[in-house]
């Protein structure tokens, strides 16, 4: 069987259990050979992360230190230009060759806005999309044309993710975590506890750096 590799992009400001636990469950559920976490550089016209690129990178490293499933790729963080998933997965495909199955992981909230992403329709030429559940978001797209696009690519068969190099969307039955980085930043700024929301070494680092206060 071809090894299915997955890329997981996001701001990770900070990385939390809502990022890690659904993806760990997913890896067991469908068999992933590895997950590459790629924190993105945020374009200048968008609200900037509260933590610096270096701090976001450090937090990912702390979060995955004892989790061999995950690796970190910091190439977007180190870049000055905005990161577009369409370009990232095109470059990744060129590196990996045409046959290897590749997937990009997103949460359900991101699937709902996916058709507004830059050159979104080219992303499936280069990889599959694997969607993790997130509470509070519907399973259908707001616009009929986006639902048609989703239906055209959706598969209930995880096997297809391994058998084909790209082109399918799989919504996985992963556990739900009602956690967001926004919630964590708010709780810290109000002096509230976050112990059950993110790995202890990441929380220690946040406190030590005085982040999000
Ligand atoms: P923020 O609250 O700052 O917007 P976030 O917690 O949504 O951040 P991001 O770094 O923006 O995290 O998200 C990266 C990816 O992780 C996205 O695809 C997002 O859908 C997914 N994700 C984040 N939190 C969860 C969660 N609780 N369950 C499932 N997926 C999640």
Q: What is the full per-residue pLDDT of the chain (213 aa) written as tens digits? A: 558 999 999 999 999 999 999 999 999 999 998 999 999 988 777 789 999 999 999 999 999 999 999 999 998 988 888 889 999 999 999 999 999 999 999 999 999 999 999 999 999 999 999 999 999 999 999 999 999 999 999 999 999 999 999 999 999 999 999 999 999 999 999 999 999 999 999 999 999 999 999
Instruction: Ligand 1 pocket test: pick from 109, 186, 211 the residue with the most ligand atoms within 8 Å of its Cβ.
Output: 109
SS3 154: strand
Give all strands (DSSP E) within the chain, no chain letters: 5-10, 34-39, 70-72, 102-107, 128-132, 169-171
Instruction: Determine the Cα–Cα distance for residues 191 and 170; give it in Å rounded to an integer.
Output: 39
Instruction: Ligand 1 pocket test: pick from 180, 184, 185, 186 the residue with the most ligand atoms within 8 Å of its Cβ.
Output: 180
- pLDDT for position 80: 80
Ligand 1 neighbourhood includes 10 CB (under 6 angstroms):
yes
The rounded Å distance from CA 18 to ligand 1 centre is: 7
Ligand 1 atom closest to 183 (CA): 2
Ligand 1 neighbourhood includes 182 CB (under 6 angstroms):
yes
Length of the chain: 213
Ligand 1 atom closest to 8 (CA): 15
Ligand 1 atom closest to 110 (CA): 20
On whether the CB atoms of residues 17 and 176 are closer than 8 A, the answer is no
For residue 150, cis peptide bond before it (omega within 30 degrees of 0): no
Ligand 1 neighbourhood includes 56 CB (under 6 angstroms):
no
Residue whose CA is at the smallest distance from ligand 1 atom 26: 18
Instruction: Determine the Cα–Cα distance for residues 165 and 168; give it in Å rounded to an integer.
Output: 9
- pLDDT for position 2: 57
């Amino acid at each position: 069987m071809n090894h299915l590799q997955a890329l997981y992009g996001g701001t990770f400001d900070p990385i939390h259990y809502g990022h890690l636990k659904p993806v760990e469950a997913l890896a067991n559920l469908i068999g992933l050979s590895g997950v590459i976490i790629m924190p993105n550089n945020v374009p200048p016209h968008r609200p900037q992360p509260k933590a610096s690129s270096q701090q976001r990178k450090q937090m990912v490293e702390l979060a995955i230190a004892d989790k061999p499933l995950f690796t970190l790729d910091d190439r977007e963080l180190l870049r000055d230009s905005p990161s577009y998933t369409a370009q990232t997965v095109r470059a990744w495909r060129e590196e990996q060759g045409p046959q290897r199955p590749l997937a990009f992981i997103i949460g359900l909230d991101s699937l709902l806005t996916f058709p507004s992403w830059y050159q979104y329709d080219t992303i499936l030429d280069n990889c599959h999309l694997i969607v993790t559940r997130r509470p509070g978001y519907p399973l259908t797209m707001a616009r009929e044309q986006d639902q048609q696009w989703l239906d055209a690519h959706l598969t209930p068969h995880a096997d297809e993710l391994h058998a084909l190099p790209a082109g399918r969307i799989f919504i996985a039955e992963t556990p739900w975590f009602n956690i967001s980085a926004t919630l964590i930043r708010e709780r810290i700024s109000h002096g509230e506890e976050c112990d059950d929301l993110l790995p202890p070494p990441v929380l220690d680092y946040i406190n030590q750096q005085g982040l999000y206060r």
